[in-house]
Amino acid sequence: MIIEVEWKYINNFLMNKNFIFWFRQDLRTFDNLWFIEAVKNSDNLLPIFILDKNLIPEFLWLWDKKFLFLKEALLFLNEQLNNLWWKLTVYHDYPERILPEICLKYNIDSIYTNKSYSRYWTSRDEKIENFCIENNIEFYSENDFLLNEPDEIEQRKVFTPFYKLWQKKLLEKEIILQNPEKFNQLYTNDNQDLQKFLDELIPWEKHPYFSIDFWKSRLHNFDYVNYEKYRNNLDLDGTSRLSVYLRFGIFSVREVYLQVRDKSHTFVSELAWREFWHHINYYFPYTKQYEFQEKRRNIAWKNNEFLFKKWCDWETGYPIVDSAMKQLVETNWMHWRARMIVASFLTKDLLIDWILWENFFKKHLLDYDENVNFWNWQWSASIWADPKPLRIFNPCLQSEKFDKQAKFIKKYLPFLEWQDLKSVHNPIDNKLDYIPLIINHKEAQKLAREEYKR
């Protein structure tokens, strides 16, 4: 709630241009284009962040360790704002309730924010914009999350032709990274102690696997040149792990692109894949309810609850699958190769609906992005518009190829340390002192091929 402001203070800015900048997936001041625009165009600016109660309905949810990273990111953002002379104000409320209250109490002329792309965020912004129209307040919601807006590129269903158009559009743009100037803070008498406020909401210190300190060195020191060579190896530090920082906008996608543009074409293509899924969401939003391929909308998913729970609890009997699932639950992140392995196992070996998997990752994944995840999971389930044949990953071969010495497996399943390497990779044909297999992959893949063909 906003504390009442004395009228003698309100009169000081009544005739000025008073703006709000609403931080969301853009928790930075450097190269935050619409934050910089808000600074330039306002006389007084109020920077805010809202912990949305529609998404976090109970305080208890904030005990989830995923929110530790958000907490650290908000404190880091506040440090950046301190360098511009003021501070961030954080609310735990419903945006459609708290924003009108802030606007009316502080005589706000404009709200600036960066565009969000999920179904909920889009509908939420429509409500806020309607309030602004009714109250003669300008509402600016512009792109800062992607290099190319979804509608800037003609409709494409397949990545390769999309990628060619995406690259062409990008070459037409001049990318210059910007710093904001110092600005006047809009007066409020909340006097919020942000550290104390967040400590009460999120009573943990730091996320054990992700931190701002990690990001500061990672962006500039990661070996992008050898990204293509090492990115599939589960036992190596071969992926950038920047997805979490892109998801929260700790740095801009433009900054990442300029960092990798001349070092790794493969990494650039990964940035394009991220934007391809937003392109698909723009042109084919209905496929969030249905499999993209019409011929695959009648798969007879078994949805065995017992098998699904075994998959969730890393108890499938396949060490490569179980170690990947344990990595997700423990660290809120999973290696990209591991994501494909566990996805194939769930949808092809167990014949469990991809949407259940998508929901599980939504619950645990720190870099979760609705549009990216929905269609990545459809791609893995082979129900996506993809010209390549049905993919069924053999977990034993994947284990042997991408974790040769089982270092990744043994990191998360240390009780397998002294087990025979062949048995760890292939528990079907070798005796492994481990939990029993919940299914035989050789038999399961035959059933999957028959069902997909049907």
CB-CB contact of 115 with 141 (8 Å): yes
What whole-number distance in Å separates Cα of residue 427 and Cα of residue 425?
Answer: 6
pLDDT digits (tens, 9 = 90+) for 362-402: 888 989 888 888 878 888 888 887 767 789 999 999 999 99
Residue 313 lies in a domain: yes
Reading across the β-sheet that carries 44-52, which strands appear in turn? Answer: 89-93, 44-52, 18-23, 110-114, 138-142
Q: What is the CATH number of the domain that holds 107?
A: 3.40.50.620
- Same domain for 365 and 261, yes or no, is no
- Same domain for 368 and 340, yes or no, is yes
Judged by average pLDDT, the poorest of 20-34, 184-198, 234-248, 427-441 is: 184-198
- Same domain for 262 and 313, yes or no, is no
Domain count, the chain: 3
| Helix or strand (DSSP H, E) at 19 | strand 18-23
Mean per-residue pLDDT, 67-87: 89
Q: Which of 108, 124, 145 is the last residue of a domain?
A: 145
Domain of residue 81: give its range: 7-145
Q: Which of 94, 124, 145 is the last residue of a domain?
A: 145
pTM above 0.85, yes or no: yes
Give the residue among 248, 240, 246 at the shortest CA–CA distance from 264.
240
Above pLDDT 90, what percent of the chain?
A: 64
What whole-number distance in Å separates Cα of residue 306 and Cα of residue 327?
Answer: 21
pLDDT digits (tens, 9 = 90+) for 234-243: 999 999 999 9
- Same domain for 23 and 156, yes or no, is no
Residue 403 lies in a domain: yes
Q: What is the CATH number of the domain that holds 426?
A: 1.10.579.10
Secondary structure class of 52 (helix, strand, coil): strand
What whole-number distance in Å separates Cα of residue 384 and Cα of residue 397?
Answer: 24
Q: Is the pLDDT reported for residue 60 higher than 60? A: no
Q: Which of 256, 283, 310 is the last residue of a domain?
A: 283
Residue predicted with more confidence, 258 or 214:
258
Which tokens go with 446? Answer: 């035959």
Judged by average pLDDT, the poorest of 60-64, 95-99, 219-223, 271-275 is: 60-64
Sort 97 into a burial class: Cβ within 10 Å, 0-12 / 13-18 / 19+: exposed
Residue predicted with more confidence, 158 or 205:
158
What whole-number distance in Å separates Cα of residue 225 and Cα of residue 22?
Answer: 36
What whole-number distance in Å separates Cα of residue 216 and Cα of residue 411?
Answer: 26
Secondary structure class of 113 (helix, strand, coil): strand
Amino acid at 424: V
What whole-number distance in Å separates Cα of residue 379 and Cα of residue 371?
Answer: 12
| Predicted pLDDT of residue 57 | 54
Whether the CA torsion 31, 32, 33, 36 is positive or negative: it is negative
CA distance from start to end of the chain: 57
